[in-house]
């Protein structure tokens, strides 16, 4: 399966100068790489999305957003429609990220609405799931993940499911520099694949990429992605350093 290396730039790149510097440095680093089996995706803040889409048009890099609203248009002050994202050059939308769950009360049900409308609008949803430290200690990982998948993917038909991307991000590993062992990631990958097989079919489940996210760095890419057989990564902080981000992409592409 094709690999996905997705950068979540979060709420960074505060000035035009900073953004332009990032884009220039990313483009120059990109020239040194050739990916044969991977998609490289950047999800910048919404204000930068159109610019990113323009700069990377026709290149190997695709663009997405970190969040969308679950209606197409109308009186929803402050929100952004997935159809707008699509029309301005975006191709992916993250849903259910742990920071959205924690700070904005995004539930599995809300993520489900966003996933459905993202699919309808022609975007590929990147659905983030994962357990907290406390849930892990109480041995609830499997239960939490199962619920997140079943509720988050409710009502998504077989015909659309192969456009989904799942990102397993153990919350205790996001933004912490702590990463799980390969076998821990592998166990969850197997569980996710099993749940997807039951929801859809084993053949379809095989076609849904399952990524790892949480403190991914070049030095941990093998441990959290290659060794446990993941289909790529969702990268936060390291995606702000083009050289490091592309180093991760190269490790995964060449594996
Ligand atoms: P991190 O963030 O790589 O900085 O841990 C990952 C994420 O939030 O997707």
**Residue % of the chain over a pLDDT of 90:** 99
What local confidence, expressed as pLDDT, does residue 152 receive? 98
Report the percent of the chain where pLDDT is more than 70: 100
Q: In a 3-state reduction of DSSP, which class is residue 92?
A: strand
Atom in ligand 1 nearest the alpha carbon of residue 128 = 9
pLDDT tens by residue, 57-101: 999 999 999 999 999 999 999 999 999 999 999 999 999 999 999
In residues, how long is the chain? 255
Is there an atom of ligand 1 within 6 Å of 175 CB? yes
Give the residue extent of every domain in the chain.
3-253
Cβ proximity of 42 and 7 under 8 Å: yes
**Residue 146 has what pLDDT?**
97
Under-70 pLDDT residues of the chain: none
> Rounded to 5 degrees, what are φ and ψ at 6?
-115, 130
Q: Is 8 in the pocket of ligand 1 (CB under 6 A)?
A: yes
How much is the pLDDT for 42? 98
Catalytic residue among 99, 131, 169, 238: 169
Contacts 24+ apart (CB under 8 A), 103-112: 108/147, 108/148, 108/151, 108/152, 109/151, 110/70, 111/152, 112/151, 112/152, 112/153, 112/154, 112/155, 112/156
Q: Looking at the domain covering 3-253, what would its CATH class be?
A: alpha beta
Is the Cα torsion angle 130, 207, 233, 48 positive or negative in sign? negative
> Is 174 a pocket residue for ligand 1 (Cβ < 6 Å)?
yes
Tell me the whole-structure pTM to 2 decimals: 0.97
Catalytic residue check, 97: yes
Catalytic residue flag (residue 2): no
Mutate to test the pocket of ligand 1, among 234, 239, 240, 241 (most ligand atoms within 8 A of CB): 234
- How would you class 159 by CB atoms within 10 Å of its CB: exposed for 0-12, middle for 13-18, buried for 19 or more? exposed
Are 66 and 10 within 8 A, CB to CB? Answer: yes
Per-residue model confidence (pLDDT) at position 180: 95
Give the model's pLDDT for residue 254.
94
Distance 108 CA to ligand 1 centre (A): 19
Cβ–ligand 1 contact at 216 (below 6 Å): yes
Q: What local confidence, expressed as pLDDT, does residue 200 receive?
A: 96
Structural contact between residues 213 and 94, judged by C-beta atoms closer than 8 angstroms: no
User: Is the CB of 185 within 6 Å of ligand 1?
Assistant: no
Q: What is the pLDDT of residues 204-216, one digit of tens each?
A: 999 999 999 999 9
DSSP-assigned letters across all residues of the chain: --EEEEEE--S---SHHHHHHHHHHHHHHHTT---SSEEEEEE--HHHHHHHHHHHTTSSEEEEES---SSSSSS-TT---HHHHHHTT--EEEES-HHHHHHH---HHHHHHHHHHHHHTT-EEEEEE---HHHHHTT-HHHHHHHHHHHHTTT--HHHHTT-EEEE--GGGTTTS----HHHHHHHHHHHHHHHHHHS-HHHHHTS-EEEESS--GGGHIIIIITTT-SEEEESGGGGSHHHHHHHHHHHHT-
Quick check: CB of 6 below 6 Å from ligand 1?
no
């Amino acid at each position: 399966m094709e690999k996905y290396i997705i950068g979540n730039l979060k709420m960074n790149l505060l000035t035009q100068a900073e953004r332009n510097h990032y884009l220039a440095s990313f483009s120059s680093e990109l020239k040194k790489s050739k990916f044969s089996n991977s998609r490289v995706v950047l999800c910048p803040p919404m204000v930068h999305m159109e610019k990113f889409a323009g700069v990377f048009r026709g290149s190997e890099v695709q663009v997405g957003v970190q969040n969308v609203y679950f209606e197409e248009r109308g009186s929803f002050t402050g929100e952004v429609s997935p159809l707008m994202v699509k029309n301005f050059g975006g191709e992916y939308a993250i849903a259910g990220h742990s920071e959205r769950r924690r700070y904005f009360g995004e539930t599995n049900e809300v993520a489900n609405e966003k996933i459905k409308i993202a699919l309808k609008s022609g975007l590929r949803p990147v659905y983030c799931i994962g357990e907290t430290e406390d849930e892990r200690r109480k041995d609830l990982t499997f239960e939490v993940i199962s619920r997140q998948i079943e509720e988050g993917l409710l009502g998504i038909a077989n015909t659309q499911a192969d456009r989904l991307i799942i990102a397993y991000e153990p919350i205790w590993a996001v933004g912490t520099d702590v990463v799980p062992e390969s076998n821990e990631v592998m166990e969850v990958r197997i569980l996710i694949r099993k749940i997807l097989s039951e929801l859809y079919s084993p053949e379809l489940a095989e076609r849904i990429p399952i990524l790892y996210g949480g403190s991914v760095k070049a030095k941990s890419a093998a441990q959290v992605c290659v060794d446990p057989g993941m289909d790529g990564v969702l990268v936060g902080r390291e995606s702000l350093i083009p050289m490091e981000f592309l180093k991760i992409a190269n490790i995964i592409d060449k594996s």
